[in-house]
Amino acid sequence: MKSSDLFVKALENEGVQYVFGIPGEENLDLLDSLSRSDSITLILTRHEQAPGFMAATYGRLTGKAGVCLSTLGPGATNFVTAAYAQLGGMPMLMITGQKPVKSSKQGQFQVVDIVDMMRPLTKYTRQLVSGANIPSRIREAFRVAQEEKPGAVHLELPEDIAREEVDEPLLSASLVRRPTAEAKSIAAAVFRLEQARRPVLVVGAAANRKQTSRMLRRLVSSFGIPFVTTQMGKGVLDERDLVRAELQGVRTQHRAARQCAGHHGRRAAFGHRGQDRASPASGDGNLWRRWLYDEFPGAGNRGPPRAGPCRGDLARRRLRHDQMEAGQYGASRLRARLRQP
């Protein structure tokens, strides 16, 4: 079979349903193979930035890597803006075309080193120099894109490689589970929630995981703890909930969010690194303490100090309450204990 056919079969093997992109001379073989796919739909756009944003948003909403396609040179450079997925933790795969690498009748016409251009913007970027490498490269790209912290990856498929004849088996997709948070860290977090008189939850983008969001909903509904969301944390919890205190963003001017952050004695940040950027809504570091629940520690030293990190997926451990005492927000004190999943 052609390498482009093998490429499409590898995408199907990864569960890809949509490819967002624009046709070009250098990806005609791949488009021809996509047209014969029974499970992948090509979504045509008018500009390369659009499929990039569509793939990034698809990755953010589903947790599966979104796939976008462009031609070489100026078309591929338009993906640079969409590579913001790397900052937002959105899994996506960018596929770009390229002139033949073994022999080119057009010389260096529109040839740009896209692989090197994408290197500081992605978690993984490679040029396919042989059709035999397609299964392993695609498996690696999807694995890297979807593992924590999710982000953007890039593969370049030259025109002559796409039309090569190849006979390689596919690699089975592997299921990767996020690590479970260490028991002592969870016990310390429970103790801090027990001691908090006016706790508030800050929900960020990294809380957008199936189990994490489900357990957060149970925590909020059971104890009535008020919460605020960052821009990227919207949608993790039902924003129609009465205990929501509106959006907390960088330099937010929303009165409820500012008062909530400033008047509460302890903030529990789920999937949000508040120290990465200073915010007026963060309040004075001497007035409150924050406990961070995230997979990785944040970078930088701006903002107030945190009480400590709890790395791993908190949703894998359940917080079971023995009793709940009524208070100003429905749960002034929280008695909880750790139970193994």
Task: Give the model's pLDDT for residue 301.
Answer: 43
Residue 274: closest CA among 305, 252, 246: 305
The alpha helices in the chain, defined as continuous H runs, are: 3-13, 28-35, 49-62, 73-77, 79-82, 85-88, 114-118, 134-146, 159-162, 183-195, 210-223, 255-263
Q: Rounded to whole angstroms, how far apart are CA atoms 45 and 21?
A: 6
Q: What are 117's two structure tokens?
A: 């251009």
Residue 181: closest CA among 324, 308, 303: 308
User: For residues 222 and 310, which has the higher predicted lDDT (pLDDT)?
Assistant: 222
* 16-63 pLDDT, tens digit each: 999 999 988 889 999 999 999 999 999 999 999 999 999 999 998 888
User: For residues 222 and 6, which has the higher predicted lDDT (pLDDT)?
Assistant: 6
Position 310 pLDDT exceeds 70:
no
Report DSSP state, residue 313.
B
List the domains of the chain with CATH numbers: 3-162 (3.40.50.970), 183-339 (3.40.50.1220)
Please give the share of the chain, as a percent, with pLDDT higher than 90.
38
Report the pLDDT averaged over residues 170-186.
Answer: 79
User: For residues 121 and 231, which has the higher predicted lDDT (pLDDT)?
Assistant: 121
Residue with tokens 């990785």: 296
State pTM to two decimals.
0.74
Q: Which range (109-118, 142-151, 170-179) has the least confidence?
A: 170-179
Report DSSP state, residue 46.
S
173 neighbors 316 (Cβ within 8 angstroms): no
* 244-278 pLDDT, tens digit each: 554 444 444 455 555 555 554 455 667 766 554 44
| CB-based contacts of 11, cutoff 8 Å, min separation 6 | 19, 40, 67, 138
User: For residues 12 and 219, which has the higher predicted lDDT (pLDDT)?
Assistant: 12
Task: Give the model's pLDDT for residue 2.
Answer: 93
User: For residues 329 and 238, which has the higher predicted lDDT (pLDDT)?
Assistant: 238
Q: What are 318's two structure tokens?
A: 């359940």
Position 161 pLDDT exceeds 90:
yes
Q: Which range (17-26, 89-98, 105-114, 307-316) has the least confidence?
A: 307-316
